[in-house]
Structure formats: structure tokens, C-alpha cells
């Protein structure tokens, strides 16, 4: 019914990163496709972006927050461990009594949340769902580690969903997977019950995310292509019938490789990584909102979303707009 997004005002360019770590604009651009990213101010947290994204989605849907009876916020960088950031959103939009929970599936979070919301609408257990994907990864990024700090950005995107009157439009299907044996490819060791915040956690930099980028890269291409195929074939749709492919924006080379494997039509893979970097759970809903507000998606269009991330988790969603 509606989409929205909100990102920090602060733009961090590759040129600025050149002054912070041993890197170059050329390396970052060539290896990732990223030119700049948005970074939250020290006093900003996830809800500062998740809430305006949600409000814009409600406005574009033309409904008030009081009509929402389910709020899901996909994130791994919530305001606090608890209460869930979704409950802050629930309160601020006036969704009185709505179910509200955060969902932790890292960069795949929005796809997972979309699948869950769609199921609740289909069964009639919820009537109107607000699904937000948002991150402030800058707060868990080691700004001295060139392997990771050039990659990520902050922001939030949101969608409002309501059961369609006919079954030809809406979320046609979602596929979701995980492989916990690959958990050490991307993870945040500190701050949980295994390594609670302490001097020693800070001394060892366990409060920052760790990533084996190269290994993740190879798995990403394969899993994104396979899960996209899965959701398409389940709905008896061919690659050529995809009007918009919105992959998780982790790396331009991953996006291009997957788009080629899936034989997505020329110009139909949406890319905005150059402006935002990898915003994890926010990347797909931000992209969706850009396409929607720019009037590039038409009613009836087949939109394929696919994502992968820490867990590892991966998933794809198919929407008939
Ligand atoms: N600037 C300059 N050099 C850098 C650098 C930077 N910012 N970051 C890493 N390098 C160096 C490495 O130190 C390495 O040097 P070495 O060969 O002397 O050891 C070299 O570049 C190549 O590193 P490698 O990791 O093989 O590069 P890559 O081509 O795989 O690109 C990523 C690195 C991280 C961009 C890429 O692997 C990637 O995007 N992976 C997926 C990550 C991802 O999607 N994560 C999130 C999942 S949601």
C-alpha cells in the first residue's frame, strides 16, 4: 500500500575514508561500487530513521498508524537490546495494541519480515502490517578496519501491507533459508550474553562487526541466484518476466554477477549502492521506496527481491505490484 525511507543527512565519501584508513576511492569504487554512504550522528539511533520511514510509508499508503495491527522491524542494530525498536515505532505512530517485534536476520531481515507479515495477512490474523528494515551499522563498525569500514551505511525503509482484494496482486511468495555453520563469516561477538560489554570486550574490539569478505562473496552470488530461482519457479514465472530485480546492495560485483546468472532484462536490476553502501536490512526497502516514488514501478509489475547476510541467512520475495 505504501513505502517510505529515511537516511541520515551526513554523507561520508570515499575521499574522506582515504584520510581515515589505508584505502583509495579507486579501490572502493572498483571492488564494491560504493562512492558514498550515510552515517548517523553520534546522538542518532535506529528509531531516528525507522520512525520517519514508517511515517512516510503510512502517508504514502494514505492510512493512519491506528490502523496498523502488526509492526515488524528487521534490524541487527536496534536502539537497545530490548525493548524492541518496533515497540517504539508502534507507540509513536499510534498503533494501539498492535503486535510489535524486531526480527534478527541481518541483511536478509527485510525479506524474512515480509514473508512473516504476508502470512499473517493471508490467514487474517493481522489486517494491516508495517514492515521496517533499518540499521545504524556505523555504531558497530570498526572505523580503523579498512576491510569493513568502507562497506556499510545507515538508514531505514518501510512498507505498509494489507491483504489484497484479489489474489493476483501482492506478495506472491517468499523463500527463506539459513546455514548457521557459516556464522563466523559475519558476526558481532561482543555485547550479547556470551561476551557482555566489559573493558576486555572493548580492548579486544569485540564490540565491532567482523567479516570474512571474500568467502562471503562467493556464497552470496550462488545463494542469491538459487533462492531467486526457487521463488520464481514456485510461482511458475520465468526470469524474463521479472520487471524489477531488487537485490540486497552489498557489492556491485555481486549484484552484477547475480543479475547475469538470472538473465534479468537489461536495465531491470535496481542499483543504488553507490549512494548508500550496504545498509543491511534497510537496503531493499530503501530501493523499493526509490523506485516507487520515482514512479518506475507500474501496477502489475513483477518485482523480485533477494538478500543474503549474517547467519548465514538468505531469502527471496516475489511481489506482483
Ligand atoms: N582498501 C584497499 N585495500 C583493501 C581494502 C580497502 N578498503 N579492504 C581490503 N583491502 C585489501 C585486502 O587487505 C587484500 O589485500 P592483500 O591481498 O594484500 O591481503 C586485498 O584488498 C584483497 O582483499 P579481498 O578480500 O580478496 O578483496 P575482495 O575483492 O574480495 O573485496 C570485499 C573485498 C569485502 C569488497 C568483497 O569480498 C565483498 O564485498 N564481499 C562480500 C561482503 C558482503 O557482502 N558482506 C555483507 C554481507 S550482507
54 CB near ligand 1 (under 6 Å): no
Query: Which is the catalytic residue, given 73, 248, 251, 292?
Result: 248
**What secondary structure does DSSP assign to 205-228, as a single string?**
TTTS-EE-HHHHHHHHHHHHHHHH
pTM score > 0.75 for this model? yes
pLDDT at 272 over 90: yes
pLDDT at 303 over 90: yes
pLDDT at 259: 94
* Cell numbers placing 247: 537485490
pLDDT at 180 over 90: yes
Averaged pLDDT, 181-189: 97
| Dihedral (CA of 262, 263, 266, 268) sign | negative
CA distances from 102 to 33, 83, 158, 212, 216 (A): 30, 9, 13, 26, 25
pLDDT at 166 over 90: no
pLDDT at 164: 84
146 CB near ligand 1 (under 6 Å): yes
At residue 168 the predicted structure's pLDDT band, cuts being 50, 70 and 90, is confident
**What secondary structure does DSSP assign to 103-168, as a single string?**
E--GGGHHHHHHHHHHHHHHHTS-SEEEEEEEE-GGGGS-TT-HHHHTTB--EEEEEEEE--SSTT
Averaged pLDDT, 303-308: 98
**27 Cα to the center of ligand 1, angstroms:** 9
Rounded CA separation 318/178 (Å): 19
Contacts 24+ apart (CB under 8 A), 287-294: 287/157, 287/246, 287/249, 288/3, 288/157, 288/159, 288/246, 289/3, 289/4, 289/5, 289/53, 289/56, 289/57, 289/157, 289/158, 290/5, 291/244, 291/246, 292/3, 292/60, 293/3, 293/60
- CATH code reported for the domain at 170-320: 3.40.47.10
Report domain extents, the chain. Answer: 2-162, 170-320
32 CB near ligand 1 (under 6 Å): yes
- CATH code reported for the domain at 2-162: 3.40.47.10
* Nearest-5° Cα angle at 24, 279 to 268: 45
pLDDT at 117: 98
Rounded CA separation 181/184 (Å): 8
220 CB near ligand 1 (under 6 Å): yes
Tens of pLDDT, residues 64-114: 999 999 999 999 999 999 999 999 999 999 999 999 999 999 999 999 999
Domain 2-162 shares a fold with domain 170-320: yes
Q: Taking the CA atoms of the chain, what radius of gyration do you get in angstroms?
A: 19
Q: Is 177 one of the catalytic residues?
A: no
Q: Count Cβ atoms below 10 Å from residue 11 Cβ, excluding itself.
A: 15
Q: Is 107 one of the catalytic residues?
A: yes
104's CB contacts (< 8 A; 6+ apart) are 74, 75, 76
pLDDT at 165: 81
Averaged pLDDT, 279-291: 98
Supply the residue whose CA is at minimum distance from atom 36 of ligand 1. Answer: 213
213 CB near ligand 1 (under 6 Å): yes
Averaged pLDDT, 215-228: 95
- Cβ contact 208:145 at 8 Å: yes
Query: Which is the catalytic residue, given 107, 149, 251, 292?
Result: 107
**276 Cα to the center of ligand 1, angstroms:** 18
Supply the residue whose CA is at minimum distance from atom 48 of ligand 1. Answer: 309
Tens of pLDDT, residues 250-262: 999 999 999 999 9
29 CB near ligand 1 (under 6 Å): no
| Dihedral (CA of 224, 247, 296, 72) sign | positive
Question: Of all residues in the chain, what percent carry a pLDDT higher than 70?
Answer: 100
**146 Cα to the center of ligand 1, angstroms:** 9
Averaged pLDDT, 238-257: 96
Tens of pLDDT, residues 125-160: 999 999 999 999 999 999 999 999 999 999 999 999
Supply the residue whose CA is at minimum distance from atom 28 of ligand 1. Answer: 214
pLDDT at 238: 94
pLDDT at 167: 76
Averaged pLDDT, 229-238: 96
Rounded CA separation 298/173 (Å): 19
In three-state secondary structure terms, 19 is helix
Amino acid at each position: 500500500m505504501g513505502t517510505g525511507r529515511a537516511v541520515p543527512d551526513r554523507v561520508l565519501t570515499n575521499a574522506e575514508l582515504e584520510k581515515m584508513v589505508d584505502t583509495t576511492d579507486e579501490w572502493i569504487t572498483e571492488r564494491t561500487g560504493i562512492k558514498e554512504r550515510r552515517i548517523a550522528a553520534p546522538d542518532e539511533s535506529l528509531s531516528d530513521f525507522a520512525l520517519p520511514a514508517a511515517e512516510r510509508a503510512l502517508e504514502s499508503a494514505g492510512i493512519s498508524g491506528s490502523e496498523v495491527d502488526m509492526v515488524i522491524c528487521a534490524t541487527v542494530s536496534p536502539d537497545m537490546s530490548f525493548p524492541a525498536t518496533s515497540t517504539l515505532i508502534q507507540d509513536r505512530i499510534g498503533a494501539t495494541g498492535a503486535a510489535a517485534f524486531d526480527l534478527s536476520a541481518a541483511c536478509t531481515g527485510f525479506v524474512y519480515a515480509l514473508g512473516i507479515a504476508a502470512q499473517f495477512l493471508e490467514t487474517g490474523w493481522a489486517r494491516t502490517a508495517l514492515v521496517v528494515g533499518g540499521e545504524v551499522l556505523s555504531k558497530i563498525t570498526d572505523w580503523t578496519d579498512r576491510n569493513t569500514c568502507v562497506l556499510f551505511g545507515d538508514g531505514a525503509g518501510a512498507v505498509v501491507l494489507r491483504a489484497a482484494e484479489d489474489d493476483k496482486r501482492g506478495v506472491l511468495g517468499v523463500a527463506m533459508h539459513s546455514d548457521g555453520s557459516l556464522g563466523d563469516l559475519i558476526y558481532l561477538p561482543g555485547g550479547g550474553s556470551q561476551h557482555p560489554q566489559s573493558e576486555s570486550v572493548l580492548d579486544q574490539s569485540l564490540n565491532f562487526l567482523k567479516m570474512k569478505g571474500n568467502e562471503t562473496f562467493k556464497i552470496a552470488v550462488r545463494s542469491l541466484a538459487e533462492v531467486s530461482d526457487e521463488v520464481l519457479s514456485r510461482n511458475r514465472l520465468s526470469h524474463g518476466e521479472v520487471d524489477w530485480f531488487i537485490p540486497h546492495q552489498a557489492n556491485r560485483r555481486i549484484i552484477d554477477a547475480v543479475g547475469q546468472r538470472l538473465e534479468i532484462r537489461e536495465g531491470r536490476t535496481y542499483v543504488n549502492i553507490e549512494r548508500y553502501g550496504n545498509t543491511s536490512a534497510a537496503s531493499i526497502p530503501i530501493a523499493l521506496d526509490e523506485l516507487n516514488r520515482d514512479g518506475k514501478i507500474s501496477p502489475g509489475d513483477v518485482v523480485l527481491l533477494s538478500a543474503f547476510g549474517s547467519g548465514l541467512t538468505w531469502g527471496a520475495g516475489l511481489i506482483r505490484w
